[in-house]
Amino acid sequence: MSRYRKFTVSETLAAVSVEVIRRLWSAGRFHNHPILQRIVDRHFDLWADWRTQITMRSVDDQTKEILTAWEENDETVEKFLYSEIIKGDTPLGGEMRLRSAFMEDQDRGDV
């Protein structure tokens, strides 16, 4: 099930009309036209919902691309180095150490 609202044809046409009018206004044309002002006043909320949905779909697509890229380049498994030194009789079997590649870089002064 899609989490996005499905706009009817008439709602989409109204939203696109407001989009076109706003672009005309931003170009400095027909700003004082009373009919265009009424169209925008009547359908502004619908346009805002429509525009928000378009923007959020774009954000969702970008998020999926970023997550895919992170999964492909995931090197976190290789960044941690585990070492376990068993010395004597201890309840947990000895000492366990965890080091990361960035810790070694800090020791060398690279970071």
pLDDT in tens, 96-110: 566 666 665 555 655
Q: Rounded to whole angstroms, how far apart are CA atoms 107 and 49?
A: 53
Q: What is the predicted pLDDT for the residue at 1?
A: 45
- Record the pTM: 0.55
Is residue 88 left, alpha or beta, with left meaning phi > 0 and alpha meaning psi from -120 to 50?
left
Distance CA 76, CA 60 (A): 25
In terms of pLDDT, which residue wins out, 58 or 104? 58
| Helix (H), strand (E) at residue 54 | helix 34-72
